[in-house]
Amino acid sequence: MAVVPQVAAQSTSEGSPSAPTARVRLAVNGVRHELDLDTRQSLLDVLREDLGLTGTKKGCNQGACGACTILLNGRRVVSCLTLAAMHDGATVETIEGLEKNGELHPLQSAFVEHDGLQCGFCTPGQIMSAVGCIAEGHAGSPDDIRFWMSGNICRCGAYPGIVAAVADAAKRV
Amino acid sequence: MTMAIIGRPLARVDGRAKVTGAARYAADFNQPGQAYAVIVSATVGLGRVTGMDSAAIEKMPGILAVLSHLNAPRLAYGQHKSYIDPATGERLHVLQDERIRFHGQPVAVVVATTIAQAERAAAALRVSYNAERPVVDSAGPEARPIVPEAGRQPDARLPADKARGDADRALAESPVKVDETYDIARENHNPMEPHATIASWNGDRLTLWSKSQFVVNEQAEIAAIFGLPLENVTVICPFIGGAFGTSLRTWPHVTLAAMAAQHVRRPVKLVLTRKQMFFTTGHRPRTVQRIALGATADGKLTSVVHEGTGETSRYEEFMEALTSVTTFLYSCPNVRTRYRLVPVDTGTPNHMRGPGEASGVFALECAMDELAYKLRLDPIDLRRRNEPAIDEGENKPFSSRSLMRCYDLGAEHFGWARRTPEPRSMRDGRLLVGMGVASASYPAFHAPATARARLLPDGTAEVEIAASDMGPGTYTSMTQVAAETLGLPVERVRFSLGRSDYPPAPSHGGSWTMASVGSAIRAACIAVREEAAKGRTDRPIEATASSQRDPQAAERFSMHSFGAVFVEIAVDPDVGTIRVRRAVGAYGIGRVVNPRLARSQCTGGMVGGIGMALMERTVLDARDGRPVNAHMADYLMPVNLDILQLEAHFVEEADPHVNQLGVKGLGEIALVGIAPAIANAVFHATGKRVRALPIRIEDVLTA
């Protein structure tokens, strides 16, 4: 049975007051932001709709596809299921922050070289997840990579290229 | 002199944009002052809306509008039908009346200043209904098959009935017979990118940043719906986050985004939720098919009967090529095909990768495997004995056909000779190993297209066409065609697509983009090159040119791609898990423009086929038509761990007839044939013939 988040008909109804806000300080790709946020906002929506960082994608908004994967305090998380208000003071890294001085991150180059992408929509999430995967020490073998990258769906089916790219980049980072 | 750029395994020219997050998809085009719209979907499967408590919602913070049939503008809904729309029936008119035709139909749209406000209010909107019980089981007792209107004529593109010889009599007289029924579950495309539209009005001019595989058709359809001149609508879509057919048509959410933006006088962004992706944006229809084969004792087909039904909606007759391949894949004097539709209370299905062929070939190729076992013949040998000299359905020669060469090449790479035919005869420790094969085929289509090329004084070139790239690598392959034709290095060519104000391209589907768009680009670049040869100029040289297939060639030849698919699976006999260990596909697809991308597309199609065979199934609640697994964790799809070794090989195939480039296309054929090869491997591994997809653990456990 599907468990679908349904916010409906809980406490909203009669003349709800304006939603509570919270002051949240975030360092995103090295840039500090101080934001007054609706406490219901996911980190994903804050990145995409408030900060204009649309590289991070919304694939399902259900935590099931991995397209919105970012690094939060160095750990990979699905930003659609992460409430921004709970992470005051956090450090966030997104796909836009990987390239340094015009140089692609080894994972970015490897994804192009090994054709670890087709439509490209899951790619930012795959790459951010792969940064985490390698840092965790989970990129030692193709089997390891397949297992630890399985939270990131690629509907085009570029998995062989993704595994090759992560294995290749793991040797370079 | 031309440089050999076509045929080179270049990396994607848009690769950098895609790995840096710079590639912008529809929902990434945020506009200043943009509001957010969220659709409220019907929670009953049939009936009427009887009331809606919009007032409570309108008081919530940030709410700009609640639109429903009660207050939405009556739209022009002018005549518009493209070849990607069903020939019979009329598209859903959204928020125009109180009728509910299927579960999930839009009943309202909530517009608010922020996305959180819009989502909250949409979830809180109370809608009351007068509900009736829908019929959603296309094979149940209430199913009433109909003859599709557009298939009634014998010369229809998809004839409902087609026959040669007397297949029923020949079947009755055949010494060896297979007569079975195959049932394939409904599938949803589930691309990673949800459907999304950002609509912005400037007076009576509308700009849509919208996910579309067919921007010129979206432009025409929205113009017709809103009663606008065509030139008042611009559709922009430079990147598509996968689609597989779901973005061929223009679905109701595009209209809703434009309606909402007009109402609140601001740009509006509307993105479907993942759950809504199961409601109004099409699906591969469930099909039920009977295949009956008759053969002589030495394995020559004497009769082929293929009767298939597909589900459709009550308001449109969606047709696909379910029985087409059966008419030409094998040599047989007596063939009868029948195609029927069963209207049910759901949204209209639409094309999904390998539409029709993927389902029809599953049934035929499983039946062929069953016949091979009855005859005690190797399944490849059976196909070799029935290899036709011509397309016997059309009575025309093939422009090229490499099916047997595909079997030879695939068998060699796969190591088919190592297979022992007896079911349950191959093991790896405690695992049962199975090897299966199947044929694949898909038409080599072509549609007229127009492209513009411009050679600039600085020695670079620009090429434009309203085509799309949902992932196959259109940007790259078209750049290669332009560069080679113009005699320029790839780096000097800038190729643009995805705008309705570029010269028109056909829909990005049906594996005809390379052929159609590529030929148009080639024509435009030849025109520029010839003009440039006349002498130096310091002004840009621009040419617009169209291309279409040589009508005589189309008249004379039957044009199709063919392939042979080999699969090795391992079944755990204790828990019934099925793992695809290896898949090898060999394809005859004409010229390969970029082998790196072609292989990637083929292995991607295999992943889709693995999903079709073993995982994908949209389950409807019989009481109200609700898709119960409308969630990416419950609608199972292959993840990285499911995919092991995949290989694609291409046979050399020069086909001068299909088009000027000699390409046949490969996006669809890459998925066709995978599911039957897997089902045949499951039989080989377990001795259990499973004729319903997806094949589940319990099917194997009861083996």
Mutation site for A-interface testing, chosen from B19, B34, B113, B246 by largest number of A Cβ within 10 Å: B19
Listing DSSP states for B629-669 in one string gives: T-STTTS----GGG--EEEEEE-----SSS-TT-B---TTT
Task: Work out the average pLDDT over B261-274.
Answer: 98
Q: Coil, strand or helix: which one is B66? A: strand
CB contact under 8 A, B604 and A156: yes
Q: Phi and psi for B307 in degrees, rounded to 5?
A: -120, 120
Q: Phi and psi for B652 in degrees, rounded to 5?
A: -65, 125
A103 at B interface, C-beta within 8 A: no
CATH topology for the A106-170 domain: DNA polymerase; domain 1 (1.10.150)
Residue B14 or residue B153, greater confidence? B14
**B271: which strand partners?**
B196
- Which residues, in sequence order, are CB contacts of B202 under 8 Å at separation 6+? none
Measured between beta carbons, the chain B residues lying within 8 angstroms of A41 are 116
Contact A56, A48 (CB under 8 A): yes
Is B668 catalytic? The answer is yes
A91 at B interface, C-beta within 8 A: no
Confidence of residue B321 (pLDDT cuts 50, 70, 90): very high
The pLDDT of residue A6 is 40
pLDDT tens digits, B107-165: 999 999 999 999 999 999 999 999 999 999 999 999 999 999 999 987 899 999 999 99
Whole-number Cα distances in Å, B290 to A112, B305, B689:
45, 8, 15
**How much of chain B is helix, strand and coil, in % rounded to 5?**
25, 25, 45
Structure tokens given for B560: 């199709």
A164 at B interface, C-beta within 8 A: no
The pLDDT of residue A19 is 75
B519 at A interface, C-beta within 8 A: no
Confidence of residue B3 (pLDDT cuts 50, 70, 90): low
Dihedral of alpha carbons B471, B476, B479, B481, sign: negative
Residue range(s) occupied by CATH 1.10.150.120 in chain A: 106-170
pLDDT tens digits, B165-224: 999 999 999 999 999 999 999 999 999 999 999 999 999 999 999 999 999 999 999 999
pLDDT at B231 over 90: yes
pLDDT tens digits, B618-632: 999 999 999 999 999
* In chain B, % of residues over pLDDT 90: 98
CB contact under 8 A, B641 and A113: no
Listing DSSP states for B139-190 in one string gives: TSTT---B--GGG-STTSSS-SEEEES-HHHHHHH-SEEEEEEEEE--B---
CB contact under 8 A, A118 and B633: no
Mean pLDDT (chain B, rounded): 97
Angle between the A159-170 and B595-614 helix axes, to the nearest 10 degrees?
120
Peptide bond into B694 cis (omega under 30): yes
Confidence of residue B703 (pLDDT cuts 50, 70, 90): low
The pLDDT of residue B153 is 86
Interface ipTM: 0.97
**B66: which strand partners?**
B110
Number of continuous H segments (helices) and E segments (strands) in chain B: 15, 27
d(C-alpha B322, C-alpha B320), whole Å: 6
**B311: which strand partners?**
B342
pLDDT tens digits, B241-266: 999 999 999 999 999 999 999 999 99
Task: Work out the average pLDDT over A67-73.
Answer: 98
d(C-alpha B67, C-alpha B65), whole Å: 6
d(C-alpha B498, C-alpha B505), whole Å: 10
pLDDT tens digits, B404-456: 999 999 999 999 999 999 999 999 999 999 999 999 999 999 999 999 999 99
B window 40-59, beta carbon within 8 A of A: 56, 59
Please name the helix (run of DSSP H) or strand (run of DSSP E) that holds residue B240, with its range, or none: none
Q: How close, in Å, is residue A55 to chain B by CA atoms? A: 4
pLDDT at A12 over 70: no
Characterize the bridge pairing of strands B287-295 and B88-89.
Answer: unpaired
The dihedral region occupied by B223, where left means phi > 0, alpha psi between -120 and 50, and beta the remainder, is alpha
Contact B5, B483 (CB under 8 A): yes
B window 575-614, beta carbon within 8 A of A: 596-597, 600-601, 603-608
Tell me the residue ranges of DSSP E strands in B222-371.
Answer: 233-236, 268-271, 287-295, 301-312, 316-317, 335-343
**B291: which strand partners?**
B180, B306
pLDDT tens digits, A75-133: 999 999 999 999 999 999 999 999 999 999 999 999 999 999 999 999 999 999 999 99
Measured between beta carbons, the chain A residues lying within 8 angstroms of B19 are 95, 104, 107-109, 111-112, 117, 120, 123-124, 127
Q: How close, in Å, is residue A37 to chain B by CA atoms? A: 10
A154 at B interface, C-beta within 8 A: yes
d(C-alpha B571, C-alpha B144), whole Å: 39
Query: Which DSSP symbol is given to A49?
Result: I
Contact B604, A156 (CB under 8 A): yes
Residue range(s) occupied by CATH 3.10.20.30 in chain A: 21-97
pLDDT at A7 over 50: no
Nearest to B694 by CA among B349, B137, B140, B183: B183
d(C-alpha B85, C-alpha B354), whole Å: 17
pLDDT tens digits, B364-397: 999 999 999 999 999 999 999 999 999 999 999 9
Q: Which domains does chain B have, with CATH numbers?
A: 15-23+447-548 (3.30.365.10), 31-132+192-242+247-278 (3.30.365.10), 149-187+283-444+556-701 (3.30.365.10)
Pick the CATH number of A21-97 from 3.40.640.10, 3.10.20.30, 3.20.20.70, 3.40.50.300: 3.10.20.30
Query: Which DSSP symbol is given to B23?
Result: S
d(C-alpha B588, C-alpha B670), whole Å: 11
Contact B481, B6 (CB under 8 A): yes
CB contact under 8 A, B191 and A119: yes
Nearest to B355 by CA among B262, B278, B454, B285: B285
d(C-alpha A164, C-alpha B492), whole Å: 30
Q: How close, in Å, is residue B55 to chain A by CA atoms? A: 10
**B336: which strand partners?**
B163, B305
d(C-alpha B53, C-alpha B63), whole Å: 14
The pLDDT of residue A3 is 42
Task: Work out the average pLDDT over B560-588.
Answer: 97
A7 at B interface, C-beta within 8 A: yes
Structure tokens given for B429: 């420790």
Whole-number Cα distances in Å, B594 to A65, A102, B5:
29, 27, 9
Q: How close, in Å, is residue B151 to chain A by CA atoms? A: 33
Size of interface A-B (CB pairs under 8 A): 216
Q: Coil, strand or helix: which one is B36? A: strand
Catalytic residue among B307, B568, B668, B698: B668
d(C-alpha B101, C-alpha A45), whole Å: 33
Contact B507, B667 (CB under 8 A): no
Which among B23, B124, B637 is the nearest to A9, CB-wise? Answer: B124
CB contact under 8 A, B114 and A155: no
B window 445-474, beta carbon within 8 A of A: 470-473
pLDDT at A10 over 60: no
The pLDDT of residue A13 is 41
* In chain B, % of residues over pLDDT 70: 99
- Which residues, in sequence order, are CB contacts of B608 under 8 Å at separation 6+? A157, B244, B353, B670, B671, B674
Task: Work out the average pLDDT over B445-468.
Answer: 97
